[in-house]
Amino acid sequence: MIIIFILEAAETIYTVAILINMNQNKNKISSGHNACAGCGQLSAVQAVMRALNNDTILVNATGCLEVTTSAHPQSSWRLPWIHSLFENSASIASGIKAALNHNHKNTKVVIQAGDGGTYDIGIGLISGMWERNENIVYICYDTEAYSNTGIQASGSTPWGANTVTTPSGEKSIGSQQSKKDMLTIALAHGLKYVAQSTSAFPDDISNKVKKALVTIGPSYIQILSPCVPGWKIKTDETTKAARLAVKSGLYPLLEYTEGKLSNSSVNANFQADSVNEYLKIQGRFRHLKTEEIKQIQNLADKNIERYYL
């Protein structure tokens, strides 16, 4: 079955054809996409899709996920799916939800975007959607750079990382900015469910998506998704990198419920690993000296203190 509808925004009219696959038993995203071998984002997406039922509409911002899964005339998606621009996935989702509220209030709307479309380009429209308290789940696949357009720095790029717009050199350590704290921004909007995970923990991702789906109002989930060319890692190292991010304390597994930290991987059973193992497998950090690595270790130590539960 094909549904065709028209969206009009500003001076642009989008005509969107959505193919709904009626086979209830198939995976909601198929193989055959052209993502990089070992892509951390696609691993995370598979975990997200396992948590969704067929009564779901996906809104996908411009980015790697959209490009690699929807090359004309084929699509890897087996759910209703629409591609938006880099910046306006929140607005498109709001319009879809408003239409659904007339006769299909139980249909879920889920936004998928990268960190560029979330931390930077789309943040104003995301803020508006959150202020309106709309019942939409927002999922950010955090690759810590603009992976789709050539590995430029984003608001999520960590301190010290080498990107094409923050190159390392004799007079530069790479990125000199601090990674933007999107979890705190989401919490400042009063979201009842905010969570963080990495692609190394698929069950954790699926469970958090299920919790977000039953939360009344907007929810935000952020998933660290190692990028093979952006992080300069081997194709079989994405899961290792995502796991080490958690074990070092740089990117812990987190849940906030009703504004309070309700679950954290930094707990009584947590034994922190040094950040060295995490950094040394990534070419984007290979230029860092001992003193600079210590500064990143300090960031991990602060996270461990902040998120201990």
For the segment 166-213, what is each residue's pLDDT rounded down to a tens digit? 999 988 999 999 999 999 999 999 999 999 999 999 999 999 999 999
Reported as a single tens digit per residue, the pLDDT across 60-81 is: 999 999 999 998 888 899 999 9
For the chain, the average pLDDT equals: 91
How confident is the model over 80-99, as a mean pLDDT? Answer: 95
Which runs of consecutive H residues, i.e. helices, occur in 2-122?
40-50, 64-69, 89-103, 115
The dotted CATH code for 2-307 is 3.40.50.970
Euclidean distance between CA atoms 278 and 13, whole angstroms: 45
CA distance 89 to 79: 17
pLDDT digits (tens, 9 = 90+) for 18-62: 444 444 446 888 877 888 999 999 999 999 999 999 999 999 999
**On the CB side of 147, how many CA atoms lie within 13 Å of its CA?**
28
271 pLDDT higher than 80? yes
Evaluate whether 299 touches 250 at the Cβ level (below 8 Å): yes
pLDDT at 73: 83
Tell me what pLDDT residue 26 has: 65
CA gap 222, 182 in Å, rounded: 8
How many Cβ atoms sit within 10 Å of the Cβ of residue 293? 17
Does residue 4 surpass a pLDDT of 70? no
Q: CA neighbours within 13 Å on the CB side: how many for 93? A: 32
Question: Residue 165: is its pLDDT beyond 80?
Answer: yes
Question: Does the pLDDT value for residue 11 go beyond 50?
Answer: no
- Closest Cα to residue 301, out of 263, 224, 248? 248
pLDDT band for position 15 (50/70/90)?
very low
Q: Domain limits of the chain? A: 2-307
Backbone angles phi, psi at 299, to 5 degrees: -65, -40
Cα–Cα distance, 209 to 137 (Å, whole number): 8
Q: Is the pLDDT of residue 84 over 70?
A: yes
Tokens of 249: 């304390």
Can you give the pLDDT at residue 20? 44
When pLDDT is cut at 50, 70 and 90, the band that residue 8 belongs to is very low
∠ CA(141), CA(92), CA(113), 5° rounding?
Answer: 10
Close Cβ partners of 171 (under 8 Å, ≥ 6 residues apart): none
Percentage of residues in the chain with pLDDT exceeding 90? 85
Using CA atoms, how far apart are residues 179 and 156, in angstroms rounded to an integer? Answer: 5
pLDDT given for residue 136 in this prediction: 98
Query: Is a pLDDT exceeding 60 seen at residue 17?
Result: no
Paired tokens of 153: 């720095």
What ranges make up the beta strands (E) of the chain?
2-9, 12-19, 56-60, 81-83, 108-114, 137-142, 168-169, 172-173, 193-198, 219-224, 254-257, 260-264
pTM to 2 decimals?
0.91
Tokens of 299: 């960031």
Average pLDDT over residues 123-137: 97
Strands 137-142 and 108-114, by their bridges, are: parallel
Please tell me the predicted confidence (pLDDT) of residue 101.
Answer: 93
Q: Residues of the chain with pLDDT > 70: what percent?
A: 92
Q: In sequence order, what DSSP letters do the residues of 97-136 get, joined into one string?
A: HHHHHHH-TT-EEEEEEEHIIIIITTHHHHHHHHHTT---
